[in-house]
Amino acid sequence: MARPTTKNDLINFAEKNYQKLMDKINSLSVQEQNKSFAFEDRDKNIRDLLIHLYEWHLLWMVWVKENQKGNEHSFLPEPYNWRTYPTMNEKIWKKHQTTSLEEAKASIDKTHQEIMQMIDGFSNQELFSKGVFAWTGGTTLGSYSASVTSSHYLWALKKLNRHIKSLKAS
């Protein structure tokens, strides 16, 4: 699937990929959903995948809301940058080790709906024209939006498919 270049594509790809992800998760038994991944990874199970997506949704939403209010706010929180964000992801993972799968599902569902509503509030030009918002730097708001929705959902689907493959092999 190509990266979205219009608001309509962004919304459609995000909704489609989110639904695919959730349908695939829900097609598994509760035991399979809670089983640890058989492969080495930061994310050890489905809960970890969902929490990762949820936390990145929060990053995007806070970044957009703060900058729209005129408060200069970077996408990644201090002290992280694009070279050190794997450390941030590890911190996210540690933070949620007591979060249940059901809580993770509810959290991601809530933020997915919120982020889609926020995206819908922007015009195609605001999402996909460079320079509309100084705070997006040299990229577009749509590109950031795709990164935390449709593209991120595809990333999670790949991990989920790997998990399902390992379940079938065992």
User: Per-residue pLDDT tens for 131-161?
Assistant: 999 999 999 999 999 999 999 999 999 999 9
At residue 1, the pLDDT reads: 58
pLDDT tens profile 17-31: 999 999 999 999 999
To the nearest whole percent, how much of the chain has pLDDT over 90? 94
Spatial separation of the C-alpha atoms in residues 91 and 88, rounded to whole Å: 5
At residue 39, the pLDDT reads: 87
Instruction: Tell me the pLDDT of the chain averaged across its residues.
Output: 96
Residues written for the chain: 170
At residue 9, the pLDDT reads: 97
Can you tell me which residue has the tokens 């749509």? 142
pLDDT tens profile 36-54: 999 878 999 999 999 999 9
Domains and CATH numbers, the chain: 43-169 (1.20.120.450)
Spatial separation of the C-alpha atoms in residues 153 and 17, rounded to whole Å: 6
Spatial separation of the C-alpha atoms in residues 50 and 150, rounded to whole Å: 14
